[in-house]
Structure 1
Amino acid sequence: MSARELHFINVTLPLSDERGLFELKAVGGRWTSIVPQETVLSGDGSFVPMSALAGEMSRLKAAGRIDLQGYMMLPGFVDAHMHLDKAYSLSQVGNASGTLLEAIANYGAAAPSFSKEDIRGRIRKAALRALSYGTTTIRTHLDFRLRSGIEVAFRTIYAALEVREELKGIVDMQLFPMCPYDRLTTAEQDAIEEALRLGMDGMGGAPHLSETPESDIDRIFATAARWGKPIDLHADESDDPSKQTVAYIAEKAVEYGYGGKVTVDHLCSLSAMDTRRAEEIIGRIKATGLSAVTLPPVNMYLQGRGDSGLIRRGTTRIRELLDAQVPLAVASDNIQDPFHPFGQGDLLKIGLVTAYAAHMGSSADLHALLRMMTEVPAGILGLTGYGIAEGHSADFVLIDALRADDLFTELPVGRTVYKQGRPLYTSVQQSAWGLEELDRTEEQAQYRLA
């Protein structure tokens, strides 16, 4: 059986039907057949490490099929909000206070010292580390520090473009530069346009930090519309309830007919303001077709630093957004940098922290979390042909889990990742797939294909 021809039996597809088993076939990197099986998995259904099945799977592989014995297949995870260029910079950029403002200031001061090779290496390492945990598509926000000079700003742009090209067909990447704010010069606006011309996928920014947020939002929408690009903004990442730029963003989305093309991230201040006003804003987010991304680990780390006693944890109103049927994804955000000293790019761990933060523990809640790292962000990123369905690309991850609940209760280590029908990575020892393990050392984040 070639790497481009796949045949699986006894597969659990938790996003389709966790109670049944499926037989799947793929040819040329695309699913050709997904059929419910009439037979059921025998045995007591107890949890067994996938590595223990290696001998049996090897025998079946030689016969042209792989028996997953009820283990789980998911479409590749989609991380809708990362900062790949900043990842693993903590050793070079500290943050004594642990606040967002110090992180911004310290990284800004250090940015001119980073070479393009430094930035390129961090982007590549973080993207491949995320791949090892099952993520096959990433939207990354890029530092675009024009106030440090045009050449400094474009180091990050060129580094990201190079890594995106190198990892094509391995990890798909969408690039969104963080547009500067506060009274842009003509040269700075020209630089934004040049970045879009070079191949940026959309426009980002953090207008809630600006002294002139509305004029900055006006400019972002005008530029994005001129280039036909989507918008993804850090919005109200603050525990100050007066920060309500999302309301103006929603207003501009209506004006430009941009419903479905605007994403707002963080939305921390929703939890700080009174419930009535928060409900009004959430209603406006829903009515205007905005999508949202929540980032609990980083927000819990950064926010509430000025509180004592009962400390606010900074997460947005996750349940209220879900109840309002706002498309809401979870994502990694920052990884081992001055904004967040932890993280690995593992969306299952992000989902677990989200479950704690939002009191999501029922089976229905955990299934919702699973959709928040797969189907929902795929929709936000506008992915076509996503998911395990006939005709779609065979991008998927096999996981040592029998039920969706196991994903968050066990955080299974065993994962094997395929892209377009090609096996890219496995963490399973004595792998039945015949793969070499990704080199995950900090010095070399290499990938090797089977």
Structure 2
Amino acid sequence: MIDYVIRNARLPGRDDLVDIGFAGSRIAAVERGLSCDAPEHDAAGCLCCGGLVETHIHLDKSRIIDRCAPEPAGRGHLAMERVSDVKHTFTVEDVHERAKTTLERCIANGATRMRAHVEVDPKVGLRGFEGVQALVAEYAWAIEIEICVMPQEGLTNNPGTDELMVEAMRRGARVVGAAPNYDSDHAAQIRRVFEIARDFDADIDMHLDSGASPEHLDAVLVCDLTEQYGWGGRVAFGHGTKLSTMPPDEQAVWARRLGDAGVAVTVLPATDLFLMGRDQTYNVRRGLVDANLFVANGCNCSLSTNNILNPFTPFGDCSLLRMANLHANVLQVGSRDGIAECFSMLTDRSARLMNLTDYGIAVGNPADIVVIDATSPTQAVAEIAQPLAVFKNGRRTVTRTRPELHRPA
């Protein structure tokens, strides 16, 4: 029994228009000229796809730029220190309100699935985790959120953090994270994270290999442990800016190594462009992994937001399409297929990174659909096209109207 229809939908990779029928919270039909009398939305030939997937965002520390110390003079940023200095002021209610504002912006920009990375340590305790966790049920009508708990300021060198990580996993975190750059013993932190993942049968998503040269890659150990634990397809990491400093042929070798091990990479254009190259005063390196090159060599990649309005990234409107456009622009991706591949890094590839087996516009899948003001994935990325309508589990959650020009009579 069809109870709602999106008419005249243009799906990625198809030239014809189709109708998408909902039965309750599921997609029941994808066909031309669907015959039924159900209420409908006319997509009018606009691009329709599964809801956008945000794989890497920090809701807990978003929107704190005005309470942090200003950026120091010169080329330094001290982002972690500036955030760390105010974490003791976070309350559950404060985190909840800031995170809610950011989350609603993500929803309005078409996201229907999300992995939120949340810090725990003795300074903030579980307050950030609790503030974000409250949103999981509160916003289930619009987005599915899984929490990745992480030790931003170190694990082996930060007593009490391990216990907080484990407690957050017990309380419902579904992914375990890492940030070995800030640990005195990188390898020990990585090994401990794999142990926690094994104990809780959890996926792993790390902050890894941020830096200005390719020496001392933690990705070497991550690939080895992924194979040792049989965790292929369940491990991802964000940033990886060290990989961007290699010649392209060496990057391709690394992409194949990661792909063979089953380790995915999330590229975070806004943050990495803002933070990298601070050791240079001119001809500044981009510090941005070429996700298209990595995908072409067998490594799954997603593009994501990371930080919003904090010292790591004092900008952001929560638009994933803007992230795809930024990546394509900076990496000089000019072909239609290459730009379309960036769109897949917000949709199909992001869903694969998060092991979402019920993603996309197909009969039986959840009726999670975004209608974008474009006719192709390439156009959507190139023009940062806006979502006009979003549906979650068969229910409309977002409406956006096109600007109207008021011409003189």
TM-score, normalisation: structure 1: 0.84
Say if 1:345 and 1:274 are closer, same or farther in 2 by CA, change over 3 A.
same
Q: Is the 8 A contact 2:147 2:174 kept in 1?
A: yes
Aligned position for 2:92: 116
Confirm whether residue 355 of structure 1 aligns to residue 328 of structure 2. yes
Confirm whether residue 420 of structure 1 aligns to residue 396 of structure 2. no
Shift of 1:153: 1.7
Q: CA-to-partner distance for each residue in 1:182-220, whole Å, 9 max, x for gaps?
A: 535774322221111000111112113322101111111
Confirm whether residue 177 of structure 1 aligns to residue 177 of structure 2. no
Shift of 1:36: 3.9
Say if 1:143 and 1:412 are closer, same or farther in 2 by CA, change over 3 A.
same
Confirm whether residue 24 of structure 1 aligns to residue 27 of structure 2. no
Distance 1:172 1:100 in 2: 37
Q: Is the 8 A contact 2:91 2:127 kept in 1?
A: yes
Distance 1:99 1:394 in 2: 47
Q: Is the 8 A contact 2:252 2:294 kept in 1?
A: no
Q: One-letter code of the match for 1:258?
A: W
Map 1:208-223 to 2 at 5 A. Answer: 208-223=181-196
Q: Is the 8 A contact 2:212 2:287 kept in 1?
A: yes
Q: Is the 8 A contact 2:343 2:381 kept in 1?
A: no
Of 60, 66, 71, the residue aligned with 1:96 is: 71
Of 130, 137, 149, the residue aligned with 1:165 is: 137
Distance 1:370 1:233 in 2: 23
Say if 1:281 and 1:372 are closer, same or farther in 2 by CA, change over 3 A.
same
Distance 2:110 2:387 in 1: 10
Say if 1:283 and 1:413 are closer, same or farther in 2 by CA, change over 3 A.
closer
Distance 2:88 2:373 in 1: 44
Of 376, 381, 386, the residue aligned with 1:408 is: 381
Aligned position for 2:55: 80
- Partner secondary structure for residue 91 of structure 1: helix
Aligned position for 1:33: 29
Say if 1:188 and 1:67 are closer, same or farther in 2 by CA, change over 3 A.
closer
Q: Is the 8 A contact 1:108 1:145 kept in 2?
A: no
- Partner secondary structure for residue 113 of structure 1: coil
Distance 1:221 1:300 in 2: 29
- Partner secondary structure for residue 239 of structure 1: coil
Map 1:41-440 to 2 at 5 A. Answer: 64-97=39-72, 102-146=78-122, 148=123, 152-179=124-151, 181=154, 183-184=156-157, 187-275=160-248, 277-428=250-401
Shift of 1:274: 4.6
Confirm whether residue 6 of structure 1 aligns to residue 4 of structure 2. yes
Shift of 1:63: 7.6
Distance 2:370 2:228 in 1: 40
Distance 2:359 2:100 in 1: 23
Distance 1:368 1:37 in 2: 29
Q: Is the 8 A contact 1:247 1:284 kept in 2?
A: no
Shift of 1:344: 1.1
Distance 2:160 2:63 in 1: 31
Q: Is the 8 A contact 2:20 2:31 kept in 1?
A: yes
Q: Is the 8 A contact 1:84 1:123 kept in 2?
A: yes
Shift of 1:281: 2.8
Say if 1:430 and 1:310 are closer, same or farther in 2 by CA, change over 3 A.
closer
Report % sequence identity. 25
Q: One-letter code of the match for 2:71?
A: A
Say if 1:380 and 1:69 are closer, same or farther in 2 by CA, change over 3 A.
same
Q: CA-to-partner distance for each residue in 1:349-378, whole Å, 9 max, x for gaps?
A: 111001112211221112111111001111
Distance 1:184 1:103 in 2: 19
Say if 1:189 and 1:270 are closer, same or farther in 2 by CA, change over 3 A.
same
Distance 1:296 1:8 in 2: 33
Q: Which runs of 5+ in 1 are unaligned?
A: 39-60, 432-450
Q: Is the 8 A contact 2:3 2:38 kept in 1?
A: no
Q: Which 10-residue stretch deviates more, 405-414 or 296-305?
A: 405-414
Q: Is the 8 A contact 1:95 1:103 kept in 2?
A: no
Shift of 1:65: 3.7
Distance 1:36 1:400 in 2: 21
Shift of 1:100: 7.9
Q: Which runs of 5+ in 2 are unaligned?
A: 405-409
- Partner secondary structure for residue 78 of structure 2: helix
Q: Is the 8 A contact 2:343 2:378 kept in 1?
A: no
Shift of 1:259: 0.6
Q: CA-to-partner distance for each residue in 1:301-344, whole Å, 9 max, x for gaps?
A: 11001113211111013233122121100001111111111111
Q: Is the 8 A contact 1:208 1:243 kept in 2?
A: no
CA RMSD in angstroms, aligned pairs only: 2.4
- Partner secondary structure for residue 74 of structure 1: strand
Q: Is the 8 A contact 2:76 2:278 kept in 1?
A: no
Q: One-letter code of the match for 2:112?
A: T
Distance 2:75 2:30 in 1: 49
Aligned position for 2:407: none
